[in-house]
Amino acid sequence: MALWSQDSSTVPAAPGTSRAPDSSSQNSTSRPPNQPPRSDRVHAEDLGQPDGSSSSKDAKVDLSPPADDDNAHPQSTQAVLDAELGGGNAEDYPWNPHKAAKDVEVGDFYFKRHNYSAAESRYREALLYKPNDAIATYRLAVSLEKLNESDAAKKEYQSYLQILPHGPEAEEAKKAINRLNAPVAKSPEPGKPAQ
């Protein structure tokens, strides 16, 4: 039974090839041309910075705004302040249609159980992650109407019609706007006949 040696120095080289000397005996400065240095052979003193600090700290970067920035962007100061204070507007939320669809689904769950304020909350959250979503906008309008918030409901129905003027719920949205625009008839006081 023959045993094979793991020592590469005893294995003969293939015909027509030459063997490179053991790389552990090479100096880190002597390497084949056009080859990057090996990371296991790099010494800090070979890098040029005696204390090992980064050379990028040597160059100072001018972070001041351009001279005419106030004229070119008059609202920029307010925008920076809003960003630092956490404005909480739709721009703070990343585009996430999957999250929006899930919020609509949960809103539908609440709507079916007549919990219209919870449904409203979820539809509004869906619109944060996917602004101008027709389904969320329409269902938000219906929820607001159920909560007797006529002005807000009318605004959302109009938003739906701007998004999808000929959409599947366009006729219902138009009917709802007309219904919300109609003057509210006062109910007769108890004990008095209606006229």
Q: Alpha-carbon distance 86 to 81, whole Å? A: 9
For the stretch 101-111, pLDDT in tens is: 999 999 999 99
pLDDT given for residue 92 in this prediction: 73
Q: Considering the domain 97-181 in this protein, what is its CATH number?
A: 1.25.40.10
- Could you tell me the residue ranges of all domains in the chain? 97-181
C-beta of residue 157 within 8 angstroms of C-beta of residue 179: no
Q: Can you read off the two tokens belonging to residue 82?
A: 């809003």
pLDDT at 24 over 50: no
Q: Can you read off the two tokens belonging to residue 173?
A: 């949205």
Average pLDDT for 78-93? 63
Q: pLDDT tier at 33 (50, 70, 90 boundaries)?
A: confident
For the stretch 143-168, pLDDT in tens is: 999 999 999 999 999 999 999 999 99
Between 183 and 117, where is the model more confident?
A: 117
pLDDT given for residue 91 in this prediction: 62
Q: Can you read off the two tokens belonging to residue 6?
A: 């793991």
| Torsions phi, psi for 122 (to 5 deg) | -70, -35
Average pLDDT for 165-176? 96
With 0.75 as the threshold, say if the pTM is over it: no
Radius of gyration for the alpha carbons in the chain, expressed in angstroms and rounded: 36
Percent of the chain with pLDDT over 90: 44
Average pLDDT for 68-72? 75
pLDDT given for residue 26 in this prediction: 47
pLDDT given for residue 35 in this prediction: 76
pLDDT at 180 over 90: yes
pLDDT given for residue 29 in this prediction: 56
Q: pLDDT tier at 54 (50, 70, 90 boundaries)?
A: low
